[in-house]
A and B are shown apart, each in its own frame.
Chain A
Amino acid sequence: MSASFIILAAITIASAVAAMTLRHLVHCALALAITFAGLAALYLQLDAQFVGFAQVLVYVGAVAILIVFAILLTRGSEAPQQSIFSSSWAVGGIIAAAVFAVLAVMIRKSRLSELVAPAGTTTTVREIGDRLMTTYILPLEVVGLLLTAALIGAVIIAMKEEPK
């Protein structure tokens, strides 16, 4: 394992744990932004430059800001008085630990770790654009429609109701 992978993985895991356990919601959102940035760096390490920068734009730029806005609009910035975990936290924790144990055992047992990466490939944005505009033109249009519908839907849901 390379040193850069270990450092990036440690940052990503530590900030993800922080995002799920911190008490203040704003701190959670900031830790989540660090997790997204760490994942973007991992994508860069895996030679997926375009995805890495799309991750920075969409997640670190947009989704994190959206979450901060939601926290401020719901007055979640004050620290909660009672426990931050629900009453059935033990069951949830056991389920998550079991899921991780099963996945980890299967990964260790499989022969995937013997795979060697093919020699470094350079993916240009031009190639991705060519694929998106030829082979994947229909999914691209569907995603555009989905994003438009989500935009209109989110505005309508969050709009203030008229008093009757």
Chain B
Amino acid sequence: MTPLAGYLLLSSFLFAIGLAGALTRRNGILVLIGIELMLNAANLNFIAFWRFGPNPEMLKGIIFVLFSIGVAAAEAAVGLALIIAIYRHYRTTNVEKMNSMKG
């Protein structure tokens, strides 16, 4: 069986990729995709710690990930709706051009 460190390294690499994408891409949708990647990396950590932890029969990690998936789905829906609303206003999804608060 793969040691816990393998899963942790994989999830921290996924987190770093998502962070890099969220910080460097111009397109707002890609920024949201980066945030989704970071959330998924955290979920992988939850599951790995649950599996290697002392009391897996308590199901705490699994329950936490189920709620985390629900919250992430809500976040994705609202975030993409915001992107569409901003696109209708500015005619662009470039986050560098969205620099004024006043419509």
Contacts and interface: CB of A to CB of B under 8 A. Distances in A.
Interface of A: 1-2, 5, 9, 12-13, 16-17, 19-20, 25, 28-29, 32, 35-36, 39, 42-43, 46-48, 50-51, 54-55, 58-59, 62-63, 66-67, 69-71, 73-74, 76, 80, 82-89, 91-93, 95-97, 99-100, 103-104, 107-108, 112-113, 115-118, 121, 123, 127-128, 131-132, 136, 139, 143, 146-147, 149-151, 153-155, 157-158, 160-161
A113 to B, nearest CB: 4
Contacts of B82: 157
B19 A67 contact: no
A24 to B, nearest CB: 11
Contact of B67 (A1, A80, A139): A139
Contact of A154 (B30, B37, B81): B81
Interface of B: 1-10, 12-21, 23-27, 29-30, 32-34, 36-37, 40, 43-44, 47-48, 50-52, 54, 56-57, 59, 61-63, 65-67, 69-78, 80-85, 87-88, 93, 95-96
Contacts of B87: 73-74
Given A13-B14, A17-B17, A121-B57, A84 B81 contact: no
Contacts of B10: 9, 12-13, 42
30 contacts: A1-B2, A1-B3, A16-B37, A20-B37, A25-B29, A42-B10, A42-B47, A48-B50, A48-B62, A51-B62, A55-B69, A70-B84, A83-B26, A84-B26, A85-B25, A86-B26, A92-B24, A95-B23, A97-B20, A103-B16, A104-B9, A108-B5, A112-B5, A113-B3, A116-B1, A121-B56, A128-B62, A131-B59, A150-B73, A157-B78
